[in-house]
Amino acid sequence: MAWARRHLGVLLFVALPTVLTAFYYWVIAADLYASESSFIVRTPSKMQVSGIAGLLQSTGVGGGREDVYAVQTFATSRDALAILSKEIDLKAIFNRPEADLLAAYPNPIDWDSAEDFHQYFQRRVAVVYDTTTGISTLTVKAFRAEDAQLIANTLLSLSEQLVNRLNARAHDSAVRSAETDVKASEDEVRVVQQGLLEYRNRESLLDPGKASSAIFEGQAKTEAELLGSRTRLSELKRSAPQSPMLADLQAHVRALEEQLDSQRARLTGGDGAMAPKLSSYEQLMLQKEFVTRKLTSALASLEASRAEARQQQIYLERVVDTSLPDRAQYPKRLEAVLIVFISCFILFSIGNLLISGVREHGQQ
């Protein structure tokens, strides 16, 4: 008894917690089976790395770290828990008859609430990402081996569905803006083409440029003919002022002058002149060329966006399928008891030193 009184602190704060922990883990604690599965989330990439990651990327496919973290976060999220609970009866799985009072759900620590259930779920499901190899390992613990495998398989299926949604979202985000630009450009082209059609119907001209060119050619011929006629008229007046051909030649010159004035008027004079018509037509053609080039550029951007979206496809590949454990791996009984013992011993030693220091300080 004297020995017990001298070592009461050690017995209460080190030995007792250690014995209770050993009693719980070796007598009460239920076995937990762990189903593991390894997978990799990868995207097309030209990056080259060493080791296993380089081997996995040798086909031109590299790991997308952000996508891995997205899958990892989802696997233990409330969303995954909600969807998983609709597909399988998780609460029944985590409250099997073989489960002990503290490990089952609900328990004195985890009450029957959404928040507590999520915290309990996160202790039963873990996803670890290896940055060296790019491989993620999913571990699910349950009181039965088949339950652990069922949850792991279902979680992997849900993660694959998440990856598909990420693919669709990335594709839509990359392509939607380009498709909007193409549609806007097509609308502009239709507006300009409608303007050209209305112009041609209103002016009864298919191409004012060609019509103006024809008038220019006719004017040039008339000017050349007028110049030749005037030259002949001058020569005739000088050589034979009394010639009967003089009046005919003068009349021909006047006719050519009137024709030339008429041609000039068709080009530049009055409301029906070709110059303003040609100016309006050229503006419409310039607009058409601009919107056509804009549409071509938008279509090229759309194809580039689609190609980039295809290259950004992400994939979830199972490296190791879910296992069906044939023996319980948890709890780690000896490890847990040693941790409790060492922790209690360290805390007791620190407390004992503090108390001794306080006493010595008081005696001084």
Residue 273 is predicted with a pLDDT of 57
Residue 54 is predicted with a pLDDT of 46
Q: Is 356 exposed, middle or buried (0-12, 13-18, 19+ CB in 10 A)?
A: exposed
Residue 94 is predicted with a pLDDT of 94
Per the confidence metrics, is the pTM higher than 0.95? no
Query: Mean pLDDT throughout 310-320?
Result: 77
Count CA within 13 A, CB hemisphere, residue 24: 16
Q: What is the pLDDT of residues 148-203, one digit of tens each?
A: 999 999 999 999 888 888 877 777 777 887 888 888 888 988 888 888 777 667 66
Query: Mean pLDDT throughout 217-226?
Result: 73
Nearest to 272 by CA among 221, 219, 215, 224: 215
- Cα→Cα distances 185→160, 244, 259, 286, 305, Å: 37, 70, 46, 15, 17
Residue 56 is predicted with a pLDDT of 42
- pLDDT of 58 strictly over 60: no
Query: Mean pLDDT throughout 324-329?
Result: 88
- pLDDT of 32 strictly over 50: yes
Residue 20 is predicted with a pLDDT of 92
Where exactly are the structural domains of the chain?
A: 182-307
Please give the Cα distance from 313 to 286 (Å, whole number).
Answer: 41
Query: Mean pLDDT throughout 209-221?
Result: 63
- pLDDT of 13 strictly over 60: yes
| pLDDT, averaged across the chain | 80
- pLDDT of 218 strictly over 70: no
Residue 1 is predicted with a pLDDT of 59
Tally of CB atoms within 10 A around 13 = 17
Q: How does DSSP classify residue 355? A: H
Higher-confidence position of 275 and 137: 137
pLDDT confidence bin for 22, thresholds 50/70/90: very high
Q: What is the pLDDT of residues 249-305, one digit of tens each?
A: 778 778 877 776 665 655 555 555 555 666 677 787 888 888 889 888 888 888 887
Please give the Cα distance from 202 to 1 (Å, whole number).
Answer: 121
Query: Mean pLDDT throughout 98-110?
Result: 90
